[in-house]
Structure 1
Amino acid sequence: MATKRNEPDVQSSADDKNSLADHDSKDSTVKEAPSSESLTFTLSLPTPVRETPAHEAAVAIDDVAVNAHHVDPASMATTSISFVPASVVTMPPEVAPEAAVIPELPPVDHPTTRRGRQRAEVRPAPETATMLTAERLINQSKKSRRPAPEGFVQQLVYAVTFHLVNMGDSYRVRERKALEARITKMFTGGTRFVPVLTRKGGVGKTTITALLGMALADTREDRIIAIDANPDRGTLAERIDKQTRATVRDVVMRSDSLHTFSEFQTVVSRDETRLDVLASDTDPHVSEAFDEDDYNVVADMAERFYSVAITDCGTGIVHSVMRATLQRADSIVIVSGGSVDEARLASETLTWLELNGHADLVKNAVVALNTATQGTNLVKLEEIEAHFKSRVREIVRVPYDPSLATGSVVHYRDLNKLTKNAALELAAVVMDGLPEVRTD
């Protein structure tokens, strides 16, 4: 370390010593004024140099000196340059880029939105309430389990396994459901008319009409009507519990005032299966007055409110009512008994129809073989069936039933199981022959 000091003379040093010696003795009494001379020490230390660490140098920004100065625009000279292009280049017109084609995504089986719904297609025309069907609204994929099976063994296994094993319906249940599916066949294009006829009385024509109508009404969900069009006094209304005294004559007289179904219900009787029955004239003096025109009025009225109309025809087939009935018929049911003469008369009925321009109805006809008549046990029913199979579309055998043999009110729930199955089979066969769509 270098020390720079002043060199006092010898006299000054002696005086200083004397002054220091007297300072202690005179300090308590008189304080002398400080000397005008002073001693100054000056130290020259090296300037510390700080070295920048490597981690700071890596992120440091170099200092660049900026010389900011003011530029006077007036002192600047302006130079203009003009040039003439040697040639003009014509650019081609811009072509709009082609829109990118985005392929459509494949259909999604499950909803993709947050609430599990997809955007449905909106039809241009307003929809009716009948278009809100269960098949359209219910999500079939969310049905976790099949319906419970029917059948003793199937239901037992289903219950014991706590609904884990579902064997499905039994064979008989599957047959019954298939039969019901045939009966509930849907139609478009107007009412379907099915006459029940024969040339001989006493073979159970009215009973077959009641059984057919009850089976249809009990299985189907639409409206079924049975019309007693017998020019003589018919007994169809006596097969159910009558609720009104009105007949076909009242419908003809009040046709202009029966505008709604509620008003039409006042002239018909309804049984436990929801079958509506329109009775024939009960007065023998005016029964012959029911003719072709009257039947057309009744049929037009039934066509406004019902899906299927079954007509119980009279024993004769040459009267005018039969002509109007056959003109509206979509299919026919021929009733035959189990005796020789009854079967022969039923076959002659088919022949008469073929000769009078109704061959198509004969090919599509159904023969109901009533085995409750006398002499059935002595006749080969198989031979009768073989005969009719060569002429008509189908044959259904109706067994004997005590509830039908009395000729009184028929309670569909009280019929034997075989009789009820025969009625369902007859209804299914008749429905098979009716056209689903009719344009005329």
Structure 2
Amino acid sequence: MAAGSGPQGTSGADGPAGRPSPVRSAPETAPDFVPPLPRAAPQADRHAAVPFGGADVSGRRAPHGDGAARRIGRTVRRVVGAAGDGRAPEGVAARLGAPVPSCRRIAVTSIRGGAGKSTVAALVAEIVRRHRDDRVVAIDADPGLGSLPVRLGVEGRGSVRHLAAARPGSWRELATHLARTPGGLFVVPTSHGSVADELEHETFQRGAGRLGEFFSAAIVDCGGGLDTELHRGIIAGAHAQVFVAPATVDGALSARAGLQWFGDNGFGRLLSRTVVVLVAHTPKPDADLERVRESLAPFGLPVAHVPFDRHLAAGGAMNPDRVGAAAFGAVTDIACDVFTRSLDAA
């Protein structure tokens, strides 16, 4: 996605390094950096974003991730000086706001659909965006009708396919194809409309390859599965990876199979920059998480757990401010870990 550093095996993080596109967290110190747009919706953005308010299609407000009693208790603890709600742990701003040598491409993958991948991708993208002074983009790379724009609550006419066809030559031209959340996160859907054609890697590369010149980080929500030309191309160009699986025994088995696949198919270097994430889909754990973690220990990777959250489980557009403290804190740690690992790649 950075110039000369697209998500192909010959020019990505695991291939020969291309010419870096300097990006720093303080644009004023880098004259060649295109400064970010103001927080207000820019005039170049003609793709409207629906409110990032966590309402479902019926108009009902999605529940808060924490119950009322837990929120009251947390407020009381803050008043008396105890720990806060985990939304701003020490060091997060420094880690996520660190200067980057080029646009950091973080792939969010899973061996199958329904693991919670798009939810994790949306939250990671939003958390990274909150701690940077430059632009961050979330890209839906699901070859079908991906749910990332739904989770982020945006709707626009642009898509990866629109970018591939238009080939914008400047930021002003590019911005007309991007959706944007009210919080400032840019979003690129796979397609627009109710029917999606198969997305080829060449099309994805043409559409997303120019973004690296204007963004400091790109979180790519891949479709379920791994072994397609599109998946392989995106993975080959990733600086780091979040690998998502359900927090169940079956999920652990699929995670083991997926991690083994990476090692067997030439992506061993990416494994060192991978964070494994187990997502709980029910209030009561379906498995002994310690045993699940032990089953993944031979790979030597960090294994994070995102607990069940009522707001996230409601589906539809999520509101990060309504995500419970435990789930939000877990994904914040994941974002910090994977972003730091992405800095180790060329």
Query: Compared with structure 1, are the counterparts of its residues 281 and 220 closer, same or farther at alpha carbon in structure 2 (3 Å cutoff)?
Result: same
Which residue is equivalent to 2:229? 320
Which residue is equivalent to 2:151? 239
Which residue is equivalent to 1:426? 334
C-alpha displacement of 1:363: 2.7
Distance 1:227 1:311 in 2: 5
C-alpha displacement of 1:373: 4.6
Name the TM-score, length of structure 2 as normaliser. 0.72
Q: Does 1:311 align with 2:220?
A: yes
Q: How is 1:252-331 mapped onto 2 (pairs within 5 angstroms)?
A: 252-255=164-167, 258-282=168-192, 287-288=197-198, 290-331=199-240
Query: Compared with structure 1, are the counterparts of its residues 275 and 392 closer, same or farther at alpha carbon in structure 2 (3 Å cutoff)?
Result: farther
Q: Judge conservation of contact 2:140–2:222 (CA < 8 Å) in 1.
A: yes
Q: How is 1:169-184 mapped onto 2 (pairs within 5 angstroms)?
A: 176-184=89-97
C-alpha displacement of 1:153: 6.5
Query: Compared with structure 1, are the counterparts of its residues 247 and 270 closer, same or farther at alpha carbon in structure 2 (3 Å cutoff)?
Result: same
Residue aligned with 2:233, SS: helix
Distance 1:396 1:221 in 2: 27
Q: Does 1:197 align with 2:109?
A: yes
Which residue is equivalent to 1:206? 118
Q: Judge conservation of contact 2:252–2:296 (CA < 8 Å) in 1.
A: no
Distance 1:316 1:393 in 2: 20
Residue aligned with 1:287, SS: coil
Query: Compared with structure 1, are the counterparts of its residues 388 and 437 closer, same or farther at alpha carbon in structure 2 (3 Å cutoff)?
Result: closer
Which residue is equivalent to 1:395? 303
AA matched with 2:140: D
Distance 1:265 1:129 in 2: 21
* 1:416 aligned residue (324, 328, 341): 324
Which residue is equivalent to 1:336? 245
Higher Rg: 1
- My pick for the range that moved more, 349-358 or 218-227, is 218-227
C-alpha displacement of 1:389: 3.4
* 1:361 aligned residue (256, 270, 273): 270
Residue aligned with 2:186, SS: strand
AA matched with 2:197: S
Q: Judge conservation of contact 1:365–1:393 (CA < 8 Å) in 2.
A: yes
Q: Does 1:130 align with 2:29?
A: yes
C-alpha displacement of 1:249: 1.0
Measured against aligned partners, the alpha-carbon deviations of 1:288-333 in whole angstroms (never above 9, x if no partner) come to 1x21111211231111111111111111212211121012111111
C-alpha displacement of 1:336: 1.1
Name the TM-score, length of structure 1 as normaliser. 0.57
Q: Judge conservation of contact 1:333–1:365 (CA < 8 Å) in 2.
A: yes
Residue aligned with 1:368, SS: strand
Distance 1:185 1:263 in 2: 28
Ranges in structure 2 where 5+ consecutive residues have no aligned partner: 1-26, 32-77
C-alpha displacement of 1:281: 2.1
- My pick for the range that moved more, 222-231 or 238-247, is 238-247
C-alpha displacement of 1:436: 5.6
Q: Higher relative contact order by CA 8 Å / sep ≥ 6: 1 or 2?
A: 2
Which residue is equivalent to 1:92? none
Residue aligned with 1:377, SS: coil
Measured against aligned partners, the alpha-carbon deviations of 1:209-241 in whole angstroms (never above 9, x if no partner) come to 101101111122221111111111111111123
Query: Compared with structure 1, are the counterparts of its residues 273 and 395 closer, same or farther at alpha carbon in structure 2 (3 Å cutoff)?
Result: farther
Residue aligned with 1:177, SS: coil
Q: Considering only aligned residues, what root-mean-square deviation do their CA atoms show, in Å?
A: 2.6
Query: Compared with structure 1, are the counterparts of its residues 204 and 286 closer, same or farther at alpha carbon in structure 2 (3 Å cutoff)?
Result: closer
Shift >4 Å, 4+ stretches: 151-154, 170-175, 282-286
Which residue is equivalent to 2:100? 187
C-alpha displacement of 1:205: 0.7
* 2:281 aligned residue (356, 369, 372): 372
Q: How is 1:104-115 mapped onto 2 (pairs within 5 angstroms)?
A: none
Q: How many residues align?
A: 273
